[in-house]
Structure 1
Amino acid sequence: MARHRSKARNKQRSTNRRTQLVGLTAALAATAGTIGLTASVGEASTASTGLSPSQADALTAARVERRDLGSRDATRIDLSLADARAYQERAARGTMRARGALALSAAKAKSARIVAAKAKADAAAKAAAIAKATALAKAKAAAPKVVLPTTGYHLTARFNQAGGRWAHNHTGLDFAAAYGTPVRSVMAGEVIQADFEGAYGRQVKVRHADGTVTSYSHMAEFDVAVGDNVTAGTQVGAIGLTGNTTGAHVHFEVLPDGNTPVNPDPWLRQHGVTP
């Protein structure tokens, strides 16, 4: 009898242990998410798992708590992602603003360089123009006011000289020189004639600022044309033999009124040169 009771107690203990082990295993599995129990399982779930009502309630509470925890974790993840996106957007806007500022700064610097280069070029051009004008003024000031009509010459006939070589008394000075020697304008003026003129041959006439006209005849060539402006010493032609002449020379005349010749000798002396 005593042995029978002992066996019954041992069997009961074994059954209780198995029940506790099953309940503990189920609770652990629910906590780890390995079993899918619902709140509506009720007594059927309790019977199938061998859980007591208190264990089933604990399992349901653990499951609800786990679900809420997962929901909170998901919400935190969503918020973290939203924060990250907002940060990225702010960073992108900051980058765009920085790039815009850099582009604006570069454009301003380029514009400043262009303005500086133009100002430098304008200043250089102005300085060059001033230098050129100064050089011209110096050259003009240094240039002779009056020169003789040629060089390397000797006089072969003077004003009012009589002779069978002329229809009337001589109307100018004859400067004889080697054929081709340059003939020069004695003063600044404007060329009013460059043509072949009968007995005078190739003839150039220059009208000066005071209205006086000087004439150069018997030349071999023309080096100016009507309308040209010349200075004292500008070549107008070359010593030749054209027209009525017996030797290479230039016949030089001075016509104060443009028509009537006067003695070139005193006129040249009055202007600072001696023939």
Structure 2
Amino acid sequence: MASNKPAPEAPSRFSPDFGSGTGTDYGTFATGTAYGTEPGGDFAGGFGSEFRADGNGEPERGRDEWNPTEESVRPVRGKHRVAKQRNGLARSSTVLGVGVIAAVGAGGMATAQSKPPVSISLPDSIADNLPDAKSLPGVGSLFSEESEAEKAAAAAAAAPLTTAGLTTTEAEQGTADAGEALRARILQQAEQQQDAADAEAKAAQEKAAAEQAAAEAKKQQDAAEAKVAAEKKKAEEAAKKKAEALRLAKLAASYAIPTSSYTVTSTFGQAGSMWSSGYHTGLDFAAPTGTPIKAVHGGTIKSAGWSGSYGYRTVLELDDGTEVWFCHQSSIGVSVGQKVTTGETIGRVGATGNVTGPHLHLEVHTSDGTGIDPMAWLRGKGLNP
């Protein structure tokens, strides 16, 4: 940076060269008037300094006193800058503080404080004679502006640095700290999320409990329905069995065992060489000779007489076309075409035909001539031989 050159030193009256000049009368100043002729010896308002003219007609200056002029001082050079003034005066530091607060407040995170006022000291002799700044033309408005600026700065310092993080509701509630407001909202959001998670977990638990209860209820309902179905089936089977028993009882009243005092010795389908077909075709009731033979059901005598290996045989035809054969009789008590009833005696037990002893050989044939098991047929009629 360039520096200013020093100003020339003022001449002193005690210098040897002081007073040399053009020979002008020392007692005159500018107009040639004798200096010191005025009463009291004062000049220009009575500062009390004695002035004397030098040899050049210039007033003599007091000791150690220098009044620089525009011609005696060299112009300032270098990079010194003069602050730009508004209406002739620079803004105060308070106004600059408002700018700083506004700049920092835009960031929303830093805290700006107003700068302290700058103290300027002046000698009492000068300060007492300075006019009131507010009385100067065009300056009072600046002071009022600065006062408004100071008020604005104070309001800015008291207000939150930024409202970027504040909602309208928070601003209405008087929230002044954006960070605290953000923190409160984060905590509130976290609490809401936790509440939502708890509610979801509770809903899941309630749903699981409801599903478990529904499954248990369905299980119990299925068990109850199964029990009811089983009981119903059992009741139906019992009813069916009872009905069958009633039917068989009714049939039993109309059907009868063909003889008495007997022993079943051979059953239907039993294999052996004693039978020409290779198996037994009927049911044998062993009983003493002469034991009465009864009609198993009401019907008509189809045939009665000798029948080869069957001995004396009687054929009873029932109403449905079924034929019942009574074989190996010792005697026959009915004739062809005779109507008989259940339990009526139709012959006697004997040992005629191909036999090994006295017995009744009973065969049952359907209407088409097929031989069936006499034991099963009798049981189907309610009889238990």
TM-score (structure 1 length as normaliser):
0.46
Which structure's residues are more often helix, by fraction? Answer: 1
Between the two structures, name the one with larger relative contact order (CA 8 Å, sep ≥ 6): 1
Structure showing greater radius of gyration is 2
